[in-house]
Amino acid sequence: MMSFDLFASEIVDERISIGPGAYVLRGFALPYVTQLLPAIEAVEQQAPCRHMVTPGGFTMSVALTNCGRLGWTTDRRGYRYTETDPASGLPWPDMPPSFRSLAKEAATAAGFDHFEPDACLLNRYVPGAKMSLHQDKDEQDFSAPIVSVSLGMPAVFLFGGHARADKSQRIPLQHGDVVVWGGEDRLRFHGILPLKDQPHPLLGSQRINFTFRKAG
């Protein structure tokens, strides 16, 4: 019985290097899913996902919310981290313990020990939603990695270089995959291609991505 469990976990825990400090951990979040889904629901009950406006005046196709001490927001005035949800004026929901332990375990598995995230940005995609190429550079501390968890429908992740025009790798991400990157890859451009409608057995026609950061 023991050896069977060990064997099964080795199959799902494939670690693929996509850069000197970047890894895809295939299926790493699968053992956490039964804890994550109710925790996501609880976060969204306090702070629903909403479509925010970029400084350029575009409404994002992805709906987002946050948990943890700090939350990422955007409006016409710019991108920033805040301690309160601008929609309610209340602090962002606490980071659920299952979120935090998954983030720390994944960071450690990718070689980043002692990751202490203080922000978790949760993105909800429906078919057609996308994330244009961007850098994550609104955080104070670029020495910490980012841990990104994908649930639900598959997506194609674009992993570019340090300049917007650099060629991107196309990396398919499935339910349960975790991407971790830091070090010299921390500021690479990245994005998500428009989602196809390939309904997921548990989550239907949506993809949920959450990314953990050390923002403050």
> Which residues pair with residue 146 across a beta bridge?
181
Residues 167-186 that bind ligand MD6 (CB under 6 A): 179
> Which residues pair with residue 208 across a beta bridge?
124, 151
Q: Does 36 bind ligand MD6 (CB under 6 A)?
A: no
> Which residues pair with residue 7 across a beta bridge?
none
Q: How far apart are CA 171 and CA 16, in angstroms?
A: 11
Q: Does 214 bind ligand MD6 (CB under 6 A)?
A: no
Q: How far apart are CA 47 and CA 105, in angstroms?
A: 26
**85, 105, 118, 136: which one binds Fe ion (CB under 5 A):** 136
The residue number whose beta carbon is nearest to Fe ion equals 136
Residues 55-94 that bind Fe ion (CB under 5 A): none
Degrees to nearest 5, angle at CA 187 with 19 and 197? 75
User: Shortest gap between Cβ of 4 and Fe ion (angstroms)?
Assistant: 38
**39, 70, 120, 146: which one binds ligand MD6 (CB under 6 A):** 146
**Residue 117: closest CA among 97, 90, 137, 131:** 97
User: Shortest gap between Cβ of 90 and ligand MD6 (angstroms)?
Assistant: 25
Q: Does 151 bind ligand MD6 (CB under 6 A)?
A: no
3-state secondary structure of 39: helix
**85, 105, 118, 136: which one binds ligand MD6 (CB under 6 A):** 136
| 58 burial via Cβ count (<10 Å: 0-12, 13-18, 19+) | exposed
Q: Does 131 bind ligand MD6 (CB under 6 A)?
A: yes
The residue with tokens 């790493």 is: 28
74 or 91: CB nearest ligand MD6: 74
Where on the chain is the footprint of ligand MD6 (CB under 6 A)? Answer: 123, 131, 136, 146, 148, 157, 179, 190, 192, 209, 211
